[in-house]
């Protein structure tokens, strides 16, 4: 059997060095748990980076993938295929949006939404193309999304980058108003900022941006790549705030783990004409069968409701842990995405000690960790995870 050390050696020999990985080689997952090649079990509070919303190796999704793999994996988009249409139907029927385009990742979904907004500007707003996004946002790694993302350190290396974006403070309506010109066609924001630090805006802000877009003939784009499919405690993040966007983008939680993305738009925003956009793999039968099974599972089993309930419990328990540990300066979150912030840069120690205790988490900042379990998580699993976290916190060298 190949050992952890041998797999690590292969990685450093063959894989581009772009990520400092945590030390375990994961082999298998089930529900809220994963196992490494040594057989050690972990509660996974990263869930594939907010992806495995319906749990690891969900049997319903596994069955759908296996069936589709034996039936039809890929065709060109010259033809109609059934899983694509079933996925389109379930997402449109359960959202405020009217039409969908399916692609392969979050970055690609945002890329498509940005192109749609620019086409809309050409068609309906005198060629306006400028898009306002937020500081601390994260929209993906393609060049256009590097420009859209309001974090300079993602941009510096890759200059010159596409123009046409301005970045304003998040949760600040006046900043959006001040940045608006006749050339502004859209505002693109996350309903809750994920990578930016689990930042939860006020309802008034999102409502205010909605009204401002209406008053100025601009589109409101919600990047729901991380918040979509139940993460915030509602099927889509916008429902948690009662604010309907013109366009949303989805990816992470959409496919039950397979790579898939999508953007959906209201009819009024559907400015594309045939040939304006496309994808070879986008809407592929295999990924769509997985995404349809996952989405149907999430809806039929009221997984967003579980995320809301369990999120409240997780938040309560984390606040209790905060009150027992003076070095925890903040606990914030919503649904099943939570951040815990420290008064110093102890994240590496907390993560290492928690890993040892059997809990996987996201090292979000040198002084903050992020917890985003599968949305099927139970109260007992949260209790178990938090007792492992407490062990991790106690054992981290401070």
**Which residues make Cβ contacts (< 8 Å) with residue 303, sequence separation at least 6?**
53, 54, 230, 297, 375, 376
Choose between 232 and 251: whose C-beta lies nearer to ligand PLP: 251
For β-strands 359-360 and 41-44, DSSP reports them as parallel
Q: How far apart are CA 196 and CA 103, in angstroms?
A: 24
Choose between 291 and 396: whose C-beta lies nearer to ligand PLP: 291
Contact call for residue 335 and ligand PLP (CB under 6 A): no
Query: In the annotation, is 138 catalytic?
Result: yes
Question: Which residue's Cβ lies closest to ligand PLP?
Answer: 106
Task: Say what angle helices 285-300 and 82-93 make with each other, to 10 degrees.
Answer: 30
Q: Is the separation of the CB atoms in 197 and 136 below 8 Å?
A: yes
For β-strands 247-250 and 219-223, DSSP reports them as parallel
- Given the rule CB under 6 A, which of 19-27, 95-103, 120-128, 219-227 is the region that contacts ligand PLP? 219-227
Neighbours of 6 (CB within 10 A): 12
Query: In the annotation, is 98 catalytic?
Result: no
- Given the rule CB under 6 A, which of 102-110, 199-207, 345-353, 373-381 is the region that contacts ligand PLP? 102-110
Contact call for residue 190 and ligand PLP (CB under 6 A): yes
Q: Is the separation of the CB atoms in 61 and 256 below 8 Å?
A: yes
- Quote the least distance from Cβ 225 to ligand PLP, whole Å: 4
Q: How far apart are CA 92 and CA 250, in angstroms?
A: 12
Residue 285: CA atoms inside 13 Å, Cβ hemisphere, count? 15
Out of 131, 218, 251, 291, name the contact with ligand PLP by CB under 6 A.
251
- Quote the least distance from Cβ 294 to ligand PLP, whole Å: 15
- Quote the least distance from Cβ 330 to ligand PLP, whole Å: 21
Count of residues touching ligand PLP (by CB under 6 A): 15
Contact call for residue 106 and ligand PLP (CB under 6 A): yes
Q: Is the separation of the CB atoms in 103 and 171 below 8 Å?
A: no
Contact call for residue 228 and ligand PLP (CB under 6 A): no
Contact call for residue 83 and ligand PLP (CB under 6 A): no
The site string for ligand PLP over 138-167 (x = CB under 6 A, - otherwise) reads xxx---------------------------
255 SS3 class: coil
User: HEC string of 309-331?
Assistant: HHHHHHHHHHHHHHHHCCCEEEE
The H or E element spanning position 365 is strand 362-365
Q: Which residue is catalytic, options 101, 138, 263, 342?
A: 138
- Quote the least distance from Cβ 194 to ligand PLP, whole Å: 4
For β-strands 41-44 and 33-36, DSSP reports them as antiparallel
Contact call for residue 225 and ligand PLP (CB under 6 A): yes
- Quote the least distance from Cβ 19 to ligand PLP, whole Å: 13
- Quote the least distance from Cβ 222 to ligand PLP, whole Å: 10
Q: Is the separation of the CB atoms in 359 and 392 below 8 Å?
A: yes
Q: Which residue is catalytic, options 36, 44, 119, 223?
A: 223
- Given the rule CB under 6 A, which of 53-61, 105-113, 267-275, 313-321 is the region that contacts ligand PLP? 105-113
Out of 47, 52, 105, 184, name the contact with ligand PLP by CB under 6 A.
105
Residue ranges binding ligand PLP (CB under 6 A): 105-107, 110, 138-140, 190, 194-195, 223, 225-226, 251-252
Q: Which residues are the active-site residues?
A: 138, 223, 252
């Amino acid at each position: 059997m190949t050992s952890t050390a041998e797999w690590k050696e292969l990685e450093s020999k063959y894989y581009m060095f772009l990520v400092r990985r945590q030390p375990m080689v994961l082999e298998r997952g089930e529900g809220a748990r994963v196992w490494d090649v040594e057989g050690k079990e972990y509660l996974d509070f990263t869930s594939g980076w907010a992806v495995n919303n319906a749990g690891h190796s969900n049997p319903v999704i596994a069955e759908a993938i296996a069936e589709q793999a034996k039936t039809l994996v890929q065709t060109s988009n010259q033809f109609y295929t059934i899983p694509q249409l079933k996925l389109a139907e379930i997402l449109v029927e359960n959202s405020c949006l009217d039409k969908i385009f399916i692609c392969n990742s979050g970055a690609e979904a945002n890329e498509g939404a940005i192109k749609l907004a620019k086409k809309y500007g050409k068609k309906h707003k005198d060629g306006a193309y400028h898009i306002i996004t937020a500081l601390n946002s994260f929209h993906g790694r393609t060049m256009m999304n590097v420009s859209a993302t309001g974090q300079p350190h993602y941009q510096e290396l890759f200059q010159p980058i596409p123009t046409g974006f301005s970045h304003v403070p998040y949760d600040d309506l006046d900043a959006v108003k001040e940045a608006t010109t006749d050339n502004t066609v859209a505002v693109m924001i996350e309903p809750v900022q994920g990578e930016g630090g689990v930042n939860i805006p006020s309802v008034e802000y999102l409502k205010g941006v909605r009204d401002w877009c209406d008053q100025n003939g601009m589109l409101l784009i919600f990047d729901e790549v991380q918040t979509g499919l139940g993460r915030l405690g509602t099927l889509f993040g916008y429902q948690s705030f009662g604010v309907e966007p013109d366009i949303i983008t989805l990816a992470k939680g959409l496919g039950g783990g397979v790579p898939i993305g999508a953007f959906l738009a209201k009819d009024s925003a559907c400015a594309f004409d045939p040939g304006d956009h496309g994808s070879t793999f986008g809407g592929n039968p295999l990924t769509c069968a997985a995404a349809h099974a996952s989405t149907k599972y999430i809806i039929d089993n009221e997984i967003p409701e579980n995320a809301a309930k369990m999120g409240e419990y997780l938040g309560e328990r984390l606040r209790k842990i905060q009150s027992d540990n003076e070095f925890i300066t903040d606990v914030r979150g919503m649904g099943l995405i939570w951040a815990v912030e420290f008064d110093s840069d102890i994240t590496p120690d907390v993560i290492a000690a928690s890993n040892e205790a059997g809990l996987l988490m996201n090292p979000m900042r040198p002084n903050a960790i992020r917890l985003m379990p599968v949305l099927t998580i139970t109260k007992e699993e949260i209790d178990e995870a938090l007792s492992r976290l407490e062990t991790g916190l106690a054992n981290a060298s401070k």
